[in-house]
Structure formats: C-alpha cells, structure tokens
C-alpha cells in the first residue's frame, strides 16, 4: 500500500482511495455486492460491477433502508446511528488499517446489531481506529435489514441479510491482503442481532473456510424462527401492504413502503404448538431456520472455529428501564415474561426467586427476559461448540454497571460495545441519559477489554481457560476481572 497521504488500493472490482489520519488509513463505503434494487432485493447478493478510475472511499455511504429507532429516555443514536441514509449502493464495507500495514495482519469483521431492522456502519460506536492502532485490519459491513433482509417469502432465498454477511466474508477473502490483512486469519464478530447472525454463519455450510474465529456478543444460538413462525410474519407484512405474499408482489413495493410496513409488524404472536417465540415479541424479524444454530453446531458444523461468547449481566434492563417499565413491574409481568419464554413458567420463576432472594420484581423480570433473549441461547451455543473434541470455546460475562437513568440502566444490553471498540471516551456516550451514564468507567476497562478481543483475533486465546461442559469457566469482566465456574448454574439448568 502506498504511503502518500491518501493511499489507493486496488480491489478485484476497482481502485479505491482512502484517507490517512496519523497512523491509520480508513476506507469507507467500498461495495462488496451489487446494489439490491427491485427484485434484486429478494435475491441472493450478486457481484458488484467493476468501476473505472479511482473510487473515492473517504466519505460515509448510504445504509440499509430502516426507520429511526428510539428506546425511550436513553440516547441510543451512537448505537443505531441516525436512521436511513438513502442510496441503493449500500452493500458496502468500511476498512480501517495501520498506515504502515504490509500484510499478514489479523482481520476482524464486525456485524452490527439493531434487531434485524436497524443499525449501520455509520454508527459512532463502530469506529475501527483503535483496532488499526493495535495492528488489526478492522472491517464493518452493512447488510439488508427488515423485509428485504429477513422476511421469509416463497420464491426468495431465506436469510438474505445473512447471505450478505457471507458475501462480505468472500470479499474479505479476495481483497483484504491488499489492505494489509491476512485472508486466512479472519475473526467474525457481532453484537445482538449481529451476534445471532454470526451464530448462523457458524452453522452455514457455505461460509466454511471463510473465517477462523468468531465472537458472539449477546446473541443467541436459539434465536431463529421456524418457517411456520416466519410465515405468520410474511402474511402480516403482505396484509399491511395489501399484496399477495409472493416474491414478485414484494418486488414491486418501494423501500419506503417496506420500511413503513415493517414498523407496523410489532406484536404478532409467534407462539405455536411446538415453539415459543425466541424474541419474546420484541422483533418480528430474525433468522429463519428449522434447525437452530446451536443444534447445527452440536451436529458438527463450525467446530474448527475458535469461539468467544458472552452476555451482559443485566441484558433485559435495556427493554424495561428506558421505557419506564422496570420499577413498575408487577408479579404478573414476571409471570408473563416467563410464559412467553418457557414451557414451565411457574418453575422458571421459582428458580429465579430462589437464586435471587433479594431481587425486585423488575430485576426478576429483566433476568428472565435477558436469559430468554440471549443467556439461554448463548449457553446452548457455547455448550454445543465446547462438546466437540476439535473445538475451542471461551466464555465471558460483562458485569460493569452503567449508572445512566438514575443508576438503573446497569450492565445492560450493548453496554460492552464502547469497551470492545475502545471508544468509551466519546462524549456522546456520557451523561445521565447516555449509554455509559454520568460516571467515568474504570480507567483501564476499555484498554483491557479491547486488548483481549485483539489478542483473541491474533491467537485464538483471550487469556483465560476454555469453557467446557465440566467447569464452564467464564471470565466476569468488571472493574476487576474474575474467573468464575458455571455462573448461575441453577438458572442455566432451568432452561433445559
């Protein structure tokens, strides 16, 4: 890579000019697949047309069609971004690389969260500069969201947003050496919906060989809808749009109308005779698979991958505290959370009451929701992966509590991200209604957590004992880092 201020890199599709700032070079908005237009929005990702000359890669590009997301009284714009930045050519990657990179650096590819309907590479949290500073080539990507990305439509391939992620991994395999990265040392990582997608990619045969390691931050290996559940959402979407539930009918609908219809699909009851709703009513979009990723991994898929997997201690708080539902929780709310998530809700509630004798009703409700959404499915994925003799699995629990919203937000969903990306100093993350709250986090927490992710990408070992079915060694990450064996064992067993 050339060393003048704005270096040019030649990819398989054409040349791109990045922006050098200090020791880091950034390339924004490089296409990895063709723009999803018309019927193409419901087809597998296609190769992008080559371009002539040098494409400017110094300004952010468009993102996937989406509506702006608000979460009550907490400012989540650093996480979700500022909504839809329009433009069809949005299946793109951003790349951060050390300015002096000359090959063979570990590569990390990040899949953002946002409930399968929001988020993008434009969000402030996903700045890859700290990774480049520490000798990693960091790639972030956009993928199709909502109806275009995940609605299961007869005649269209399922999980198109996941297929986009696989296409981005193929782009990385083909092109990342030109940016200084080692195409044979790729770590795929994601958070929330992005982490559930990473679990799905682990279990996808077409992605085999495209990456070596994976990090699943607050995802679920049990988060997919069955085709029967997904068909309910498809019928509701077709009704909302006044069309037949067929791919040719969806292909005629504008992105604006698809986004608007997606936002009206909340609250569909997806419980069937055989399955509960893995997203407990929070989103009508997820992966659609008749075999959950954890089950596919138990059967041997993805077992040659080093896996780092974890959740946050109070995941459920994000869905309750900012919308004023935490402190007002009733015994009925606790029972309802359990009933949405588990075939034997009374026993589940009894277990949580026993293991948390001091807990408020809000705390019990949040704990059950957090395990329903992330905890149980992460433990299932970790256990399935660890059970294979050839695989290596590591587990963490992120326990540092944010004092946002009068001290109540806690170690909630998404609060680990600023530490992983080493951007915890960003001013927009601080304040009484910001993700990290009014206090200064422990001085070395971001440095240490970020360094751990970098070490895992480089070596496959984050620096503690692997997770196995006997001890279930887990690193609890807080001001102090503590190794615990089988945290919350009774609660874990209650989900079997």
Residue-wise pLDDT tens digits, 234-258: 999 999 999 999 999 999 999 999 9
268 assigned to some structural domain: no
Distance (Å, rounded) from C-alpha 110 to C-alpha 93?
10
Q: Active-site residue 192, yes or no?
A: yes
Of 413, 416, 450, 491, the active-site residue reads 413
pLDDT at 489: 95
Distance (Å, rounded) from C-alpha 418 to C-alpha 396?
16
Phi and psi for 252 in degrees, rounded to 5? Answer: -85, -10
Of 295, 314, 315, 408, the active-site residue reads 315
Pairing of strands 137-141, 92-98: antiparallel
Q: What is the average pLDDT across 437-465? A: 97
Distance (Å, rounded) from C-alpha 386 to C-alpha 376?
15
267 assigned to some structural domain: no
Give pTM, 2 decimals: 0.98
15 versus 5: which is more confidently predicted? 15
Per-residue pLDDT for 2 more than 50? Answer: no
141: left (phi over 0), alpha (psi -120 to 50) or beta: beta
pLDDT at 4: 57
Total domains present in the chain = 1
pLDDT at 100: 84
- If one counts every other C-beta atom within 10 angstroms of the C-beta of residue 155, the result is 12
Query: Is 92 in contact with 165 (CB distance < 8 Å)?
Result: no
184 assigned to some structural domain: yes
Phi and psi for 432 in degrees, rounded to 5? Answer: -70, -20
List, for residues 185-195, the tens digit of each pLDDT value: 999 999 999 99
Burial tier of 420 (Cβ tally within 10 Å: 0-12, 13-18, 19+): buried
Tell me the average pLDDT of the chain. Answer: 96
- If one counts every other C-beta atom within 10 angstroms of the C-beta of residue 478, the result is 15
Q: What is the average pLDDT across 463-486? A: 97
Q: What CATH number is attached to the domain comprising 55?
A: 3.40.50.1820
Distance (Å, rounded) from C-alpha 111 to C-alpha 159?
14
Banded model confidence at residue 387, pLDDT cuts 50, 70, 90: very high
250 assigned to some structural domain: no
487 assigned to some structural domain: yes
Distance (Å, rounded) from C-alpha 73 to C-alpha 81?
16
pLDDT at 76: 97
Q: What is the DSSP letter of 126?
A: G
Structure tokens at 426: 């960003």
**Helix or strand or coil: residue 318?**
helix
Q: What is the average pLDDT across 323-342? A: 97
- Owning domain of residue 197: 8-225+276-494
241 assigned to some structural domain: no
Pairing of strands 181-191, 213-217: parallel
Q: Active-site residue 397, yes or no?
A: no
Pairing of strands 392-398, 473-477: parallel
Per-residue pLDDT for 496 more than 90? Answer: no
269 assigned to some structural domain: no
Q: What is the average pLDDT across 75-86? A: 96
List, for residues 165-212, the tens digit of each pLDDT value: 999 999 999 999 999 999 999 999 999 999 999 999 999 999 999 999
- If one counts every other C-beta atom within 10 angstroms of the C-beta of residue 109, the result is 29
pLDDT at 265: 94
List, for residues 8-63, the tens digit of each pLDDT value: 999 999 999 999 999 999 999 999 999 999 999 999 999 999 999 999 999 999 99
Of 77, 192, 286, 329, the active-site residue reads 192
249 assigned to some structural domain: no
Nearest 5°: the CA angle 263, 264, 265 is 95
List, for residues 54-71, the tens digit of each pLDDT value: 999 999 999 999 999 889
> CB under 8 Å to 211, separation ≥6 — which residues?
109, 169, 186, 187, 188, 201, 305
Q: Active-site residue 496, yes or no?
A: no
pLDDT at 42: 98
């Amino acid at each position: 890579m050339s060393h003048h201020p704005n270096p040019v890199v030649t990819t398989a599709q054409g040349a791109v000019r990045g922006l050098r700032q200090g020791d880091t070079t950034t390339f924004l908005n490089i296409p990895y697949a063709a723009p999803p237009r018309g019927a193409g929005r419901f087809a597998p990702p296609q190769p992008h047309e080559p371009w002539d000359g040098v494409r400017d890669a110094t300004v952010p590009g468009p993102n996937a069609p989406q509506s702006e997301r608000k979460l009550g009284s907490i400012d989540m714009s650093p996480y979700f971004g500022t909504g839809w930045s329009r433009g069809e050519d949005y299946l793109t990657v951003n790349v951060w690389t050390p300015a002096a990179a000359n090959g063979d650096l570990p590569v990390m590819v990040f899949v953002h969260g946002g409930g399968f309907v929001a988020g993008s590479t434009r969000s402030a949290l996903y700045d890859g500069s700290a990774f480049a500073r520490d000798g990693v080539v960091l790639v972030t990507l956009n993928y199709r969201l909502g109806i275009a990305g995940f609605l299961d439509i007869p005649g269209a391939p399922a999980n198109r947003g996941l297929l986009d992620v696989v296409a981005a991994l193929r782009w990385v395999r083909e092109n990342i050496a030109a940016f200084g990265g080692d195409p044979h040392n790729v770590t795929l990582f994601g958070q929330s919906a992005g982490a559930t997608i990473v679990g799905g990619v682990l279990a996808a045969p077409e992605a085999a060989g495209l990456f070596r390691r994976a990090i699943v931050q607050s995802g679920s290996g049990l988060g997919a809808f069955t085709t029967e559940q997904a068909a309910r959402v498809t019928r509701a979407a077709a009704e909302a749009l006044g069309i037949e539930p067929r791919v040719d009918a969806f292909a005629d609908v504008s992105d604006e109308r698809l986004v608007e219809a997606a936002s009206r699909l909340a609250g569909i009851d997806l419980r069937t005779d055989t399955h509960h709703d893995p997203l407990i009513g929070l989103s009508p979009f997820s992966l659609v698979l008749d075999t959950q990723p954890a089950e596919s991994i138990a059967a041997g898929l993805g077992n040659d991958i080093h896996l780092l997997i974890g959740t946050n201690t109070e995941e459920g708080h994000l869905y309750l505290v900012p919308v004023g539902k935490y402190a007002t929780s009733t015994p009925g709310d606790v029972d309802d959370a359990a009933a949405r998530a588990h075939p034997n809700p009374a026993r589940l509630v009894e277990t949580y009451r026993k293991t948390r004798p001091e807990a408020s009703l809000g705390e019990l409700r949040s704990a059950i929701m957090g395990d329903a959404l992330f905890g149980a499915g992460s433990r299932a994925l970790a256990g399935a992966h660890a059970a294979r003799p050839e695989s290596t699995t590591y587990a963490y629990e992120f326990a540092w509590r944010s004092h946002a919203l009068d001290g109540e937000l806690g170690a909630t969903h998404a609060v680990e991200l600023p530490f992983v990306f080493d951007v915890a100093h960003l001013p927009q993350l601080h304040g009484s209604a910001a993700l990290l709250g009014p206090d200064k986090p422990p001085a070395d927490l971001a440095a240490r957590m970020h360094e751990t992710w970098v070490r895992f990408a480089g070596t496959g070992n984050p620096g503690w004992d692997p997770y196995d079915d006997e001890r279930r060694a887990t690193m609890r990450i807080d001001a102090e880092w503590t190794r615990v064996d089988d945290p919350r064992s009774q609660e874990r067993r209650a989900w079997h």
